[in-house]
Amino acid sequence: MEPRRSPHSLVWSSHVVTRLFVVWAVAVTLCSPAVRAQVVRQLTDVKSGWFGFPTLDDAGTEVWVNTNTNQFGTNPGFRFQIGQWDAVAGTGQLLTSFSQGVAETGYESVSVSDDGQWIAFISNGDLSGQNHDRSYEVFVMRADGTQLTQLSNDPAVNGGSVIAVAMAGGASKVAFFANTNPLGGNPNHIPQIYVINRDGTGLTQVTHSATAKAYFQGMGISGDGQRITFGSTDNPTGQNADGSTEVFAVQSDGTNLRQLTNSGQESTFPVISGDGTKIAFASLGNLTGNNPYNMLEVFVVNWDGTGMRQLTRSSTNPLDRRSSEFPSITNDGALVVFDSNQKLGTSNADGNFEVWKIKTDGTGGLTVLTSGTQQPGASLPAISGNGNRIAFAYGPDALVSGGNPDKGKELYVMDASGGILQQLTNTNNTPVSQDPDITPDGSRIVFVSNGNLLGTDADLTGEIYRIEAGGTGLAQVTNLSGAGPSTPSIASDRSTIVFSSKANPLGSNADLSEEIFLIHADGTALKQLTSSPSGASKHPVIARNGSVVIFDSTANLTGGNADGSTESSRSILTGQDCSN
């Protein structure tokens, strides 16, 4: 089980919930009117290892990532640090041992120059004596740990923080997102793009967003540091009045700002080739007329906005929604890798997320590079500038013999043909406790965890647990295999629980689609409430009296959703009707 992935809503945080807490509001009587205080109790405690988005040098010989793993025995506190691995030998080390660590698993929190000699990263530590307020700032250092320098600094109270960082391949400049106001041009602390020289000079505010609720999704900078692309909901050119996430391009001095997409659908996480000629991104938009069902697809466009090309078509069936996402592009703009759960003939027949590659001119077709059998599969691929190697995350399958015995999410590297595969991390799984729901009287909590909390979840795919609000009575409710549960909801009787899952515990979900199930808190009376060969039903909420379940579904459960759109449905537990 991994933290729920939603590229459509992911902004910059990718925090992993490894502990479950319960909070009570308590009235405290003082000499003045009653004051509300909070009592917080930690219910679970699972130590874990995790990592963020990998990055490679231009030659593909080294891989860097921010990780809180303790696989080398030098990080007993599980702080996020920067790890470095030899992409050929598979050996590695933690480069940093900062007491406050580096930023967690957010997108673009570590970036490396093409030659692998310089690293830019984010930390809230006072690493060089300039960050006394412990805000998240940009730092650079050599790969050997020397010449550590803090580049950003807004010492004002509530001055804001850096959210993402990208170093130019030539290491001349560093771009970053921040809601700070270091130059006085951002008094409302709206997230903006800034650029600074690696030596700390030449700080420039590149964007001037005036939309307080605007947010960014992805950023890339060319090798010479002159060209920047980003995804944003802002409307800086007057062409994005609906506030959809669109792809923009701008010179690093703030000139020549242009909106490259305009579809009313989300276009996110753009990356730019090292030579600055091409931009790849994922989009739900029908930008070229080949995406009528608004699947999440990979596109490429020239820097000047010409030559828009759709590289993937994840599904031609509107009821079988697939996605291709998180592209990474070579320095010459000729090759893109990405992760996708598309099915292409006999390639990837099980529909797992795998790593794929394609030429940006569309020739040669699609090639799938990984193959696993268990969900979720691959994510976050990154290709070296010269196109030789690809780093990516994968789990729960073991892609190398004897690797990944705990079925966690691990970091791998391979050559661009899919060969010479190395497992780099050994995270000892990432126990995650998430999706809590509480009874109306606040007495019982149900949640999902893959932490094997009681030693009875051998496949580590995750199960539903129940626990009393006082921290007693922990018990495992479900016993699924192959896929875990999501988003449990409990009725006021403290017993009736509904959830969604792709598992097939009763033999009635052979296609492994996501369906709604019901179970009692003692683990009995398991029942599958929905069944559809295509589409997914998820996010169930049960009425507190236990009579009705409301859920989202793209399935055509009653014949009223032929287009496969996401609709709200209900199931009456005294007699299922699944009405849209």
- Give the domain ranges of the chain: 21-43+439-572, 55-423
DSSP alpha helices (H): ranges in 391-539?
Answer: none
Q: What is the pLDDT along the chain (580 residues), one digit of tens a residue?
A: 333 233 322 233 333 334 454 444 433 333 333 444 455 554 554 455 678 889 999 999 999 999 888 888 888 777 889 999 999 888 999 999 998 899 875 667 899 999 999 999 999 899 999 988 888 999 999 999 999 999 999 877 677 889 899 999 999 999 999 999 999 999 988 999 999 999 999 999 999 998 878 888 899 999 999 999 999 999 999 999 999 999 999 999 999 999 999 988 999 999 999 999 999 999 999 999 999 999 999 999 999 999 999 999 999 888 889 999 999 999 999 999 999 999 987 788 888 899 999 999 999 999 999 988 887 889 989 999 999 999 999 888 888 877 776 677 788 899 998 888 888 887 765 566 778 888 888 888 899 988 778 888 877 778 999 998 778 899 999 999 878 899 999 999 999 999 999 999 999 988 788 899 999 999 999 999 998 877 788 889 999 899 899 988 887 787 777 665 556 666 666 444 444 4
Assigned CATH for 55-423: 2.120.10.30
Length of the chain (residues): 580
Residue of 440, 576, 455 whose CA lies nearest to 516 = 576
Q: Are strands 118-123 and 137-142 parallel, antiparallel or unpaired?
A: antiparallel
Please state, in angstroms and rounded to a whole number, the distance separating the CA atoms of residues 333 and 158: 40
Is 366 in a helix, a strand, or coil? coil
**Three-state secondary structure along 188-210?**
CCCCEEEEEECCCCCCEECCCCC
Please state, in angstroms and rounded to a whole number, the distance separating the CA atoms of residues 449 and 491: 20
Q: Which residues of 164-198 are buried (b: 16+ CB within 10 A; e: fewer)?
A: bbbbbbbbbbbbbbbbbbbeeebeebbbbbbbbeb
Q: Are 224 and 168 in contact (CB under 8 A)?
A: yes
Q: Are 555 and 534 in contact (CB under 8 A)?
A: yes
* Lateral strand order in the sheet of 324-329: 324-329, 335-340, 354-359, 367-368
DSSP alpha helices (H): ranges in 430-492?
Answer: none
Radius of gyration over every alpha carbon of the chain, rounded to an integer in angstroms = 24
Please state, in angstroms and rounded to a whole number, the distance separating the CA atoms of residues 160 and 109: 16
Tell me 87's DSSP state.
T
Whether residue 505 has a cis bond before it, omega within 30° of 0 = no
